[in-house]
Structure 1
């Protein structure tokens, strides 16, 4: 007879899944349900997940069968699984694959089909699709350029589309991974990186070659992108978050592949090069003279006969880019991210326009394997100075947050933390420029903000990498796609309200594998709204298995 006390999962009739953190079966259950359920909240004792249509369709896209999901629920649940939950899983997953997109003899036309007459009737009556679809026998004809838009409207209506139309090859671009990097060290592709590449490439048949790979910061997402390029061997467009990330991609490509300097172009505010491999920024794509003007640089998508587009930090893909992404559905596309959490709730857009989640590896799994550093997370709470309490009391919520975030006591706490880590490379990260300027002045440390010229940023990052600077102060421009392998301490003096993705990215700056542990400190003013926002920011990381120790100042550290 099964000992139900060893079962951590409770399945509820509202499709929520409760996990007992203290149960011996917690880790196993969390690993099994994560591919098909979304985290809702994760306080100390009970974590709450929920199965949603999108979470189940992502699972189906990754090849997980409905019987596997139901078997897991029945085996892991402490109590019998409610019948309506079983029905929900079967009903939701039965929709996946009912609608397919296939090629036609006309290169510029696709066919949307279904064997279910009721579904075809419902689609025919969707006002949002009328201008894109032309009725045909057993389905609808649509233009190739409307492929993504149609898929997006359908998933919002509750119909995921299985896209079986072939992808174009693009111009050839020979690229091979080096066996030995420029540094002289051997290049080793990790097992999980190979698994991610296989999941993305698939069997090279229709329905494969597009999707999203979720790997923790420091886990080598760039290597996965380069390996995909070496498999596809086609002209590639790489889009990333900022110029520093463009230069980092270029360094990595030259270090780990046989591409030459002349094979790689930069498409930024400073340069407009189109090469066999072109690396650009999201910012340049969405630049325009004014709100009424066209996006001048969207033409980049059509300037090259691309065979692969890589979206780095795909969870940050700006909404305007989704429009043009809809027009290039015939190109292989790979999204790379540490978290699919989007603060604008547009996860469905990523699913439809870039592709479903093909691979996901838990942060703690990579930590256990030594692939990313062991990290210790601490929230340090401190009081608001007496002379600011009246101003705080009468302020609106946004100003309350700023007053709490800029608490002047935080600078003293930063100094104490620096003394605690005399031999570590330290990043001090914040939201407000005035606060960061004061912190940089006190420490005599270099400062990077959005106004720091790219050349100056590169010099500061390089000095930090090589040890010429032990401490740097950075704004949110350093949240994403910056490789600082020797950073082992991050001190967050202020954050962006309740952004879960930001907390994950900031921790990721110190997770590059190294011989010692990493430390993440978040300074929070207690009895203020900053406590509430801090709790929300921590949600994603606590789900990943990280625990925050909460202390008053330097107590208990």
Structure 2
């Protein structure tokens, strides 16, 4: 009966969309297998086209036999909200947050539009006569939120704090503040009710940033792609302040609602050269030796890794008054950095990037994620030498150069951007259809953020391609535990996950990429 209702109101839904609708109706125990079984078992009621996956509708007989479906009543939005119509998941997340006493975290895959949930919350707070503070980690998000809120909130005076701005909530309805600026002041005027929205909330579990989480804000909303840290910041600072995740948008939901592009993932294995292997093994041996000493002799916590690193950095600065501990801490950090650099500079990774030139040249836009500035510069140079319009983008550049290169990427003058961590979050990018990961990561959050840069939906419904390069037998190797959390999230929703060993060549990779694109076009032509 529920499937009949869903298709009577909105025909042409695929199995994922129908499953999402059933979950919204409370049938959370169902899976796509259950949906498929019911649809195919009732040909007199349900019909489908030849798309991949099929889009379903009611048969003429089923439509004629059913009662009239009343039109859906439009959802009431906050009065001062004048932004674009929210997506279904965004209003559901907003409602869930309100029902939770206006506290909680919304966790949504990059590209699904978590900012809109924050804008809805801000609009509702303004309707209630409250002040709104929006925390952001850097100047890029400062400007992006400023423009969004100015265009989406009717009658609101919107200001900024940080990066040369000093607006306050005493004479503004809303202030967007860079977190390290907000941490210096009491932002909410005494006795004033307020809402605090924390974008990239996972960033504020650090002790200093947590000072910006003022207790006077009664309403609190955190926004993130992945609510996790590698230290104790969640349990010590964030969860006590915001509470738990109350709603969000997963890959499944984003694909079902067609706000994410289908995607395909390739893992490409490479080997070290002999010299690189020797250097890596020596640095790795030193890392393990110093780590053991730091834990056993100097009391550093073994887990989580972020707490271990915080303790190491404290010792490095002489915080314990123990010169041997400081020596071991510096030795560990030196070996850790050198091992990381060997992985970033791996010759065969850059040879593999050169093999990917046909894939990147065929893409409308591409992103190459490196680990260091030098590897990003080198990657861009390799692509330019092979005829691809590529440039690097690094945090060491001045603001004007960065803005110019981003603008050139948006208008198509630059086809591929190569960057280290600067593109992970906080920069608004146009849709890219190919992403190449030059350095493997054990961080699920970083992997999800990077993939989110290439899975925004394409006009022609082609899938996004995400290529991950890794060195066999290192911390980047999935067989050694790398990407474990990331793979758990995406393995069931990716159109295809392919593994290429070190003997693969550019022809193999391009054929795999082109097959995925052509198969989507073929399916689309049958609609």
Deviation by residue 1:268-327 (Cα, 9 ceiling, x = unmatched): 2332223322112234446xxxxxxxxxx2333559946211100111214225653564
Q: 1:537 aligns with which of 465, 483, 488?
A: 483
In structure 1, the partner of 2:397 is 452
Alignment map for 1:106-505 (pairs within 5 Å): 176-178=80-82, 187-202=84-99, 208-233=101-126, 234-258=130-154, 263-274=157-168, 275-285=172-182, 297-300=184-187, 305=192, 307-321=194-208, 323-324=210-211, 327-348=214-235, 349-396=237-284, 397=287, 398=336, 399-421=338-360, 422-444=362-384, 445-495=390-440, 497-505=441-449
Alignment map for 1:69-108 (pairs within 5 Å): none
2-structure distance, mates of 1:457, 1:538: 33
- Relative to structure 1, the CA distance from residue 504 to residue 368 in structure 2 (aligned partners, 3 Å threshold; closer, same or farther) is same
- Relative to structure 1, the CA distance from residue 513 to residue 254 in structure 2 (aligned partners, 3 Å threshold; closer, same or farther) is farther
Aligned residue for 1:245, secondary structure, equals: helix
Deviation by residue 1:318-357 (Cα, 9 ceiling, x = unmatched): 4225653564254311101111122214333322112222
2-structure distance, mates of 1:347, 1:200: 19
- Relative to structure 1, the CA distance from residue 232 to residue 301 in structure 2 (aligned partners, 3 Å threshold; closer, same or farther) is closer
2-structure distance, mates of 1:366, 1:439: 31
Unaligned runs of 5+ in 1: 1-26, 36-63, 77-173, 180-186, 287-296
2-structure distance, mates of 1:249, 1:534: 40
Contact 1:484–1:510 under 8 Å retained in 2? no
- Relative to structure 1, the CA distance from residue 426 to residue 195 in structure 2 (aligned partners, 3 Å threshold; closer, same or farther) is same
2-structure distance, mates of 1:312, 1:323: 13
Does residue 1:525 correspond to 2:418, yes or no?
no
Unaligned runs of 5+ in 2: 1-15, 35-77, 288-335, 385-389, 513-527
- Relative to structure 1, the CA distance from residue 502 to residue 198 in structure 2 (aligned partners, 3 Å threshold; closer, same or farther) is same
Aligned residue for 2:470, secondary structure, equals: strand
- Relative to structure 1, the CA distance from residue 192 to residue 518 in structure 2 (aligned partners, 3 Å threshold; closer, same or farther) is same
Q: After the TM superposition, which of the residue ranges 437-446 and 374-383 deviates more from structure 2? A: 437-446
Deviation by residue 1:135-172 (Cα, 9 ceiling, x = unmatched): xxxxxxxxxxxxxxxxxxxxxxxxxxxxxxxxxxxxxx
Shift of 1:249: 1.5
Does residue 1:506 correspond to 2:450, yes or no?
yes
1-structure distance, mates of 2:182, 2:198: 13
- Structure with the higher helix share, 1 or 2: 2
TM-score between both structures, scaled by the size of structure 1: 0.60
- Relative to structure 1, the CA distance from residue 303 to residue 376 in structure 2 (aligned partners, 3 Å threshold; closer, same or farther) is farther
Q: After the TM superposition, which of the residue ranges 382-391 and 334-343 deviates more from structure 2? A: 382-391
2-structure distance, mates of 1:301, 1:379: 48
